[in-house]
């Protein structure tokens, strides 16, 4: 893998992460559960702790110096996210607790105010529950209908199928950028274009894409884009909803309370402008500061470089996983992201994960919050390994060795 080493050097990158440094009480781990959450570089941890130590104050209200500084840092993080996603302006960036809250915000604020009986929301069969349950619920409440866009046997979405589902009844197409099970990278720009041609809006769930490839919301042309800080080397408790101004401006709030109104009396409430209208209560301030540092970390490596590096590592993993007898890999090949859901013989995925843990390899097992996809695959539970920029070929080699060992433990030959 000489070329991979030339693009980025994972062993150098790991030096930026305290989690990967030797620790007397902790075993060093081959961490392959990055689709669940990523580790945090020193720069993120230090930015958060520096905030708590020196600038802690509530935002948007303090007349004193530290209060103004906290507001400046919080709004600075918003400007950084806007630049990172190439939003037209920072008012289009709303801070939430994560992807889940971002999508709930859209389902409640937009869905409840706009949907009526007979309207349709198109969802794909590969959606995470975060982009599924809020829509099922708002459909139940409003009388709208959820229309399912099926995947191919290979685990892809076909645009021809979407065309056959779109109609004047379609109001929203909500789709994941990258599947957290199949690793499929969806053609979101084309999907948004088709949605718009039909007069619908388009929401993209970017939880699994934003840390792994360049993302430009204007190039995608989406109306909404959601992601979580903790899957992008940032803190938990912070997420982003990008919304196009023309859409956001016409929406009522999701949650209400302090900081989101212009004026209120017993008879009348005037909502604040965007984005404040959607940020009721004290926001996650230190977490926003940490997210800012996480985006700086990503850009310090370069998003094209990260994409190229992870692509090569993915190709290597695809080749090596094929060597394991009885391993069934889900999702398309070879063109996919570094998320590998698989089964091994008839060994329960929890057993696979537990035995790998005994060899200091961390993967996930279960249904990955995508029950309808599990039904479609006929496989409720799978094991899943997922890559980040600090992984390298040695980690894949250790995984493959570990899987051979799992087979041996269960008495499979070879």
Piece of the chain touching ligand PMP by CB under 6 A; list 3-11, 92-100, 313-321, 341-349 = 92-100
Q: Is 161 exposed, middle or buried (0-12, 13-18, 19+ CB in 10 A)?
A: middle
CB of 209 to ligand PMP, least distance (A): 9
Piece of the chain touching ligand PMP by CB under 6 A; list 49-57, 148-156, 202-210, 244-252 = 202-210
Q: Please tell me whether residue 52 adopts helix, strand or coil conformation.
A: helix
Size of the site for ligand PMP (CB under 6 A): 14
List the interface residues with ligand PMP, window 153-172 (CB under 6 A).
Answer: none
48 versus 238: smaller Cβ distance to ligand PMP: 238
98 binds ligand PMP (CB under 6 A): yes
99 binds ligand PMP (CB under 6 A): yes
**CA 364/CA 201 separation, integer angstroms:** 34
Q: Where are the alpha helices (DSSP H) in 245-348?
A: 245-248, 285-301, 303-321
Cβ neighbours around 24 below 10 Å, total? 4
Piece of the chain touching ligand PMP by CB under 6 A; list 63-71, 95-103, 146-154, 245-253 = 95-103
**CA 44/CA 403 separation, integer angstroms:** 34
Q: What six digits make up the tokens of 87?
A: 């939003």
List the interface residues with ligand PMP, window 346-385 (CB under 6 A).
Answer: 369
100 binds ligand PMP (CB under 6 A): yes
Q: Give the list of residues 6+ apart from residue 149 with CB closer than 8 angstroms, or none.
A: 122, 123, 124, 125, 157, 161, 162, 165, 175
CB 126 within 8 A of CB 207: no
208 binds ligand PMP (CB under 6 A): yes
Q: Give the list of residues 6+ apart from residue 51 with CB closer than 8 angstroms, or none.
A: 70, 73, 285, 286, 289, 290
Q: Could you tell me whether strands 224-228 and 201-205 are parallel, antiparallel, or unpaired per DSSP bridges?
A: parallel
**CA 225/CA 175 separation, integer angstroms:** 10
List the interface residues with ligand PMP, window 12-41 (CB under 6 A).
Answer: 35
Piece of the chain touching ligand PMP by CB under 6 A; list 93-101, 194-202, 357-365, 372-380 = 93-101
CB of 322 to ligand PMP, least distance (A): 25
92 versus 205: smaller Cβ distance to ligand PMP: 205
Distance spanning both ends of the chain, measured CA to CA:
26
Piece of the chain touching ligand PMP by CB under 6 A; list 125-133, 265-273, 320-328, 405-413 = 125-133
228 versus 382: smaller Cβ distance to ligand PMP: 228
176 binds ligand PMP (CB under 6 A): yes
**CA 61/CA 63 separation, integer angstroms:** 6
CB of 172 to ligand PMP, least distance (A): 16
**Per-position b or e across 82-91, b if 16+ CB within 10 A of its CB:** bebbebeebb
Q: What six digits make up the tokens of 171?
A: 């109001």
CB 313 within 8 A of CB 340: no
Q: Which of 104, 114, 180, 186 binds ligand PMP (CB under 6 A)?
A: 180
283 binds ligand PMP (CB under 6 A): no
CB 387 within 8 A of CB 313: yes
CB of 199 to ligand PMP, least distance (A): 26
130 binds ligand PMP (CB under 6 A): yes
192 flagged as catalytic: no
User: What are the DSSP calls for 355-385, one per residue?
Assistant: HHHHTTEE-EEE-TT-HHHHHHHT-S-EEEE
**CA neighbor of 258 nearest in space, from 236, 242, 241, 282:** 282
* CA count, 13 A, side-chain hemisphere, 30: 21
Piece of the chain touching ligand PMP by CB under 6 A; list 49-57, 126-134, 314-322, 381-389 = 126-134
221 versus 237: smaller Cβ distance to ligand PMP: 237
Q: Which of 119, 125, 205, 287 binds ligand PMP (CB under 6 A)?
A: 205
228 binds ligand PMP (CB under 6 A): yes
**CA 377/CA 371 separation, integer angstroms:** 10
166 versus 178: smaller Cβ distance to ligand PMP: 178
Catalytic residue, from 192, 202, 222, 369: name it.
Answer: 369
**CA neighbor of 104 nearest in space, from 141, 77, 75:** 141
55 versus 342: smaller Cβ distance to ligand PMP: 342
55 versus 135: smaller Cβ distance to ligand PMP: 135
131 versus 142: smaller Cβ distance to ligand PMP: 131
Residues acting as catalytic residues: 369
Residues that bind ligand PMP (CB under 6 A): 35, 98-100, 128, 130-131, 176, 180, 205, 207-208, 228, 369
């Amino acid at each position: 893998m000489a070329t991979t080493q030339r693009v980025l050097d994972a062993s150098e990158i790991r030096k930026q992460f305290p989690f990967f440094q030797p620790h007397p009480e902790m075993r060093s781990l081959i961490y392959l559960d990055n689709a669940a959450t990523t580790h945090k570089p020193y720069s993120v941890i230090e930015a958060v702790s520096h905030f708590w130590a020196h600038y802690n104050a509530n935002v948007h209200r303090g007349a004193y110096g530290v209060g103004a500084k906290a507001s400046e840092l919080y709004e600075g993080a918003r400007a950084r996210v806007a630049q990172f996603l190439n939003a037209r302006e920072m008012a289009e960036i709303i801070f939430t607790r994560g992807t889940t809250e971002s999508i709930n915000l859209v389902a409640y604020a937009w869905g409840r105010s706009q949907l009526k009986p007979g309207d349709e929301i198109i969802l794909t069969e590969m959606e995470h529950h975060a982009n599924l349950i809020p829509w099922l619920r708002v459909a139940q409440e409003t009388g709208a209908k959820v229309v399912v866009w099926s995947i191919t046997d290979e685990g892809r979405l076909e645009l021809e199928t979407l065309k056959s589902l779109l109609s004047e009844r379609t109001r929203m197409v909500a789709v994941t950028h990258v599947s957290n099970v199949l690793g499929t990278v969806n053609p979101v720009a084309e999907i948004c274009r088709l949605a718009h041609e039909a007069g619908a809006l388009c929401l993209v769930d970017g939880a699994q894409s934003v840390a792994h490839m360049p993302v430009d919301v204007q190039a995608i042309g989406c109306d909404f884009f959601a992601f979580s800080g903790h899957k992008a080397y940032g803190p938990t408790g912070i997420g982003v909803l990008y919304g196009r101004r023309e859409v956001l401006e016409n929406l009522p709030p999701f949650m209400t309370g302090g900081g989101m109104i212009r004026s209120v009396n017993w008879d009348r409430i005037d909502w604040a402008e965007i984005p404040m209208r959607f940020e009721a209560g004290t926001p996650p301030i230190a977490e926003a500061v940490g997210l800012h540092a996480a985006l700086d970390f990503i850009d310090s490596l370069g998003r094209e470089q990260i994409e190229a590096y992870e692509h090569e590592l993915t190709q290597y993993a695809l080749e090596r996983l094929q060597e394991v007898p009885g391993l069934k890999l889900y999702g398309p090949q070879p063109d996919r992201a570094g998320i590998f859901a698989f089964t091994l013989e008839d060994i329960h995925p929890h057993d696979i994960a537990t035995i790998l843990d005994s060899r200091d390899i961390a993967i996930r097992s279960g249904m990955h919050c995508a029950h309808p996809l599990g039904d479609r695959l006929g496989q409720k539970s799978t094991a899943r390994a997922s890559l980040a920029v600090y992984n390298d070929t040695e980690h894949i080699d250790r995984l493959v060795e570990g899987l051979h060992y799992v087979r041996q433990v269960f008495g499979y030959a070879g």
